[in-house]
Amino acid sequence: MQRDRWPTRLTFLFAAVTSAIGLGAVWRFPYLTYKYGGGAFLLPYLIALVVAGIPLLILEFALGQKLQKGAVDALASIKRKFSFIGWWALFIGFIVISYYSVVMGWSIIYFFTSIGTQWGDDPKAYFFNNILHLSDSINNIEGITDVVFIALVAGWIGVYFSVWKGTKSVSKVVNFTTPFALVLFLIMLVRAVTLKGSMEGLIYYLKPNFSALLDAEVWIAAFSQIFFQLSVGFGVMIAYASFNDRKEDISKNAVVVGVATVIFSILAGFIIFGTLGFMASSQNVPIEEVVASGPGLAFVVFPKALSLMPFASFFSMLFFLILVTIAYDSAFSLVEAIDTVIVEKTKMKREAIALIVCIFGLLSGIIFTTNAGLYFLDVIDHFINSYSLVAVGILECIAVGWVFGAEKLRAYVNKVSDIKIGRWWDYAIKYFVPIVLTIIVAIQLTKEFKAPYENYPQWAIWLGWISVVVPFAIAFLIPQKNIQKKNIEL
């Protein structure tokens, strides 16, 4: 059977870049920058990009493209038992998408409630009480919040129709959403930096505090952020690259995806902090008082700031449309990674596989639509990002660096790429990245045992560990048949 193909190189780049650019860029990056030393955070962030992010992107692109397979069979081609690394990556992706789609659902709701900025003067109460109906602790699940559930269903319908025909439908979607989101983003950027008071916000954002670099936590934050953002360790980039011709350039593509993501994130910070500067100045309060992170930033502070702007409804809709669009492209990339593997493993039709994956994704997202949904989201996100994702990164490095041979894969990369990569890449994959990632896990673990994460009750912490261990165990137990290895040499 002919393998699916991207119609053009640009389409592949659009798909990979839009998978990478998502809530991580708009929701998380600006806050991390502020929290971890302002402009000085850019240093560990950029170092993480160069020494770990781009090398791993090269690894995943090369693996998918050389072997022309999704994550499971690509890793199994190296050694049969390594199929578990691929399965684990997919399970992690599945868990991430189950809550990521809920945040996308919130953004959909906010897109509509932007008309007339319905959060009024108290966006905090609006978000937590009117939209989430948040209970007072993770112990009180109470029930499902209808509007969040409906938005979630809507989001999943969108995701289904993007992936149901594989690269054919994904291509159509990304060829439209990439330029579309870019235009919206630029309008928002110009608006934000020309607001009165925006300058103070930007200074606040970028003023470097170099002493922050002495703190290990800052480096951990930078590395995990780069990982999450570049969508490595989820099988997505392997699947996407497997639809390229085997002669497609690899290192240039990896640099384009990595650099585009980082530039976008830094500019997203301009939008966020420019707008916060405006809000602080129009309310006459210091910026410290208005900064927040995560859901608080995008769904409480930002709506408030937006409602102070001229043409508030318009710019609110614009902002949430950007959020929906970028979240959506990232969301379906995760589904596509899973579909790709199941298509290779079964004789079922792609449309049917996509439907089943989407329905399961929707069902497993229900817990995050309950009144305690935000707490569950926080716990699961923490455990998956701190442990599972990093572990898959380490395992991929070992599989490729030590078993397949970093030199061998690099020889392939250099054969097809304009930018030739040197021996440094072998060292990065064999030693540097796995060692850094191991240190990150070790430091996180000691913190975990000192105090329960965010003081959640013990059962919730157990749930977090279950979300790490059970997918790993299942992945390990899935049998792998011998696969043809003829593709392993180019």
Residue 318, interface with ligand PFF (CB under 6 A)?
no
Is 145 or 229 the residue whose CB approaches ligand PFF more closely? Answer: 229
Note whether 333 binds ligand PFF by CB under 6 A: yes
CA angle 392, 262, 62 (to 5 degrees): 45
Toward ligand PFF, which CB reaches closer, 18 or 145? 18
Residue 62 or 338 with smaller CB distance to ligand PFF: 338
CA R_g for the chain: 22
330 forms part of the interface with ligand PFF (CB under 6 A): yes
The amino acid that residue 420 corresponds to is K
Per CB under 6 A, does 385 bind ligand PFF?
no
Query: Judged by CB under 6 A, which of 171, 231, 340, 467 binds ligand PFF?
Result: 231
Nearer to ligand PFF, 229 or 444 (CB): 229
Piece of the chain touching ligand PFF by CB under 6 A; list 22-30, 101-109, 345-353, 357-365:
22-30
Question: Interface with ligand PFF includes 234 (CB under 6 A)?
Answer: yes
Quickly tell me which residue has 């089943």 as its tokens.
Answer: 356
Token pair in block for residue 366: 């229900």
137: three-class secondary structure by DSSP: coil
**Binds ligand PFF by CB under 6 A, chosen from 17, 132, 236, 372:** 236
Give the nearest distance from C-beta 486 to ligand PFF in angstroms.
29
Tokens, residue 49 = 């990009």
Ranges of beta strands (E only) in 258-406 are: none
Q: What is the pattern of x (binds ligand PFF, CB under 6 A) and - over residues 72-111? A: ---------------------x--x---------------
Contacts with ligand PFF, 339-378, as mask; x by CB under 6 A: ----------------------------------------
Do residues 187 and 271 make contact, with C-beta atoms less than 8 angstroms apart? no
20 binds ligand PFF (CB under 6 A): yes
Under 8 Å between Cβ of 144 and 169: no
Other C-beta atoms within 10 Å of 4: how many?
Answer: 18
The CA-based angle 410-60-440, given to 5 degrees, is: 100
Instruction: Write the DSSP string, 388-413.
Output: IHHHHHHHHHIIIIIIIIHHHHHHHH
Of 106-114, 160-168, 225-233, 457-465: span binding ligand PFF (CB under 6 A)? 225-233
Q: Which positions from 153 to 192 touch ligand PFF by CB under 6 A, shown as an x/- string? A: ----------------------------------------
Which of 15, 16, 23, 67 is in the footprint of ligand PFF by CB under 6 A?
23
Helices (H) and strands (E) in the chain, counts: 24, 0
Q: Output the CA–CA distances (angstroms, integers) from residue 472 to 85, 95, 96, 111, 475, in the order listed.
A: 8, 12, 15, 37, 5
If the CB atoms of residues 226 and 461 are measured against ligand PFF, the closer one turns out to be: 226
Sign of CA dihedral 8, 490, 93, 220: negative
Q: How far is CA 324 from CA 184, 275, 364, in A?
A: 12, 19, 20
Please, which residues have CB within 8 angstroms of residue 121's CB and are 6 or more apart in sequence?
none
Report the SS3 class of residue 234: coil
**Is 275 a residue that touches ligand PFF (CB under 6 A)?**
no
Q: What is the closest distance, in whole angstroms, from the C-beta atom of residue 374 to ligand PFF in the complex?
A: 18
Q: Which residues bind ligand PFF (CB under 6 A)?
A: 19-20, 22-25, 93, 96, 228-229, 231, 234, 236, 330, 333-334
